[in-house]
Structure 1
Amino acid sequence: MLYQAQTIRILSLLFFFALPFSGLSGCSTWISDSFHEPDVRLLKVDVVRAKLLEQQFVLRFRIDNPNDVSLPVRGLVYTVHLNDVKLASGESNTWFTVPAHGSQTFDVPVRTNLWRHMKYIVKLLEKPDEPIKYRLEGEVKTGLMFGKSVHLSRNGEIIPGSYIPE
């Protein structure tokens, strides 16, 4: 009788600890070959505040999920360069879910201090009609326990004169 009670208790504990992991079979989708990387695009950069020693921006991204299952997103690690000067880097830990075959936009707040680059930036702005190259690099963290990181790299040009008010 004592042996039977111990066996039942051990089986109950095994079942109790195995139950949370039984739902992870769906996570194998992220590891298998059927996973298609989502498309991540920078849509917009908004200036929130621009003071002498600190500038605040909001980067708006759109993520498109081409998969048959929803895609949990756990955040973004990013670096922004203007020409070859690193302007900002950071991490957003915002969690959200992109529906299957759907899309989601999300905002990432950015703080930077351009003071140490002021001389260089002023030199770039002296020619407002010449394009300035930018580069955004990052990694979107997806999935839950067995997630993947989706690398992101975008290059482009901005023309400063189009952002300067007349």
Structure 2
Amino acid sequence: MPPTVTRLPLLGLLLPLLAGCSAWSTHAGGLREPDVSLAGLSLKDPNPLRPTFRVRLRVDNPNDLDIRLDGADVDLALNGQPVATGVSRSPLILKKLATSEMTVDLTADAFGAVRQLLTLRSRPALDYRVTGDMIWHDGFGPFGRLPLSFGGSVDRATLLRAAGSLAE
């Protein structure tokens, strides 16, 4: 028998598998980024040189499929300057068309944060930006990263009230 004839059954089995993979990657390519916002903030470790904050993130999944996350890498910038970074390795399933919460511990560079907080003497508000990636897991291992980015501004009075509640 010629070698090409014996390979035909193998090729017949492989083609549907490859078609399935391409359909999955097409579906995955249409994945919309989850909307992420701040849900809560608390002081976890009051170490004066490297304080750790527990940040709760609200994650809205706009997709029509569940997304399994294996954690997140997150950075915080104040007034455009990086001041804290952290990771979460807690698995989370974002239910389709639903809201979930993720907790991330951020360790701050106290000196950098204080420098930015001191700018409140000359500015009415503090600008913040949270960026990073959520690690997408497909059941076999990491599948990719979903970027997250949100920010805003906190006025002086709100920040002072929050600082008072963190100290309690």
TM-score normalised over the length of structure 2: 0.68
Task: Give the CA deviation at 1:62.
Answer: 1.5
Tell me which amino acid in the other structure corresponds to 1:126.
R
Q: Deviations over 1:27-56 (max 9, x none)?
A: 954642543332222222222343421212
Q: How many residues align?
A: 141
Query: Does the CA contact (< 8 Å) of 1:30 and 1:148 recur in 2?
Result: no
Quote the Cα distance in structure 1 between the aligned partners of 2:149 and 2:155: 20
- Following TM superposition, the consecutive aligned residue runs of length 4 or more in structure 1 with deviations greater than 6 angstroms are none
Aligned to 2:118: 123
Aligned to 1:9: none
Task: Give the CA deviation at 1:85.
Answer: 2.0
Identity of aligned residues (%): 20
Any stretches of 5+ residues in structure 2 without a counterpart?
A: 1-16
Q: Residues 91 and 64 of structure 1: is their aligned pair in 2 closer, same or farther, counting only changes over 3 Å?
A: same
Aligned to 1:113: 109
Matched, 1:99 2:95: yes
Aligned to 2:76: 80
Any stretches of 5+ residues in structure 1 without a counterpart?
A: 1-21
Quote the Cα distance in structure 2 between the aligned partners of 1:164 and 1:143: 39
Q: Residues 142 and 31 of structure 1: is their aligned pair in 2 closer, same or farther, counting only changes over 3 Å?
A: farther
Aligned to 1:6: none
Query: Does the CA contact (< 8 Å) of 1:77 and 1:139 recur in 2?
Result: yes
Aligned to 2:129: 135
CA RMSD of aligned residues (A): 2.8
Give the alignment partner of residue 71 of structure 1, picking from 67, 78, 85: 67
TM-score normalised over the length of structure 1: 0.69
Task: Give the CA deviation at 1:106.
Answer: 1.4
Task: Give the CA deviation at 1:122.
Answer: 5.5
Tell me which amino acid in the other structure corresponds to 1:106.
M
Tell me which amino acid in the other structure corresponds to 1:52.
P
Q: Deviations over 1:122-158 (max 9, x none)?
A: 532435x710111111111113246232111212111
- SS state at 1:163 partner: helix
Task: Give the CA deviation at 1:117.
Answer: 5.2
Task: Give the CA deviation at 1:89.
Answer: 1.6
Q: Deviations over 1:44-78 (max 9, x none)?
A: 22223434212121111112223332210111111
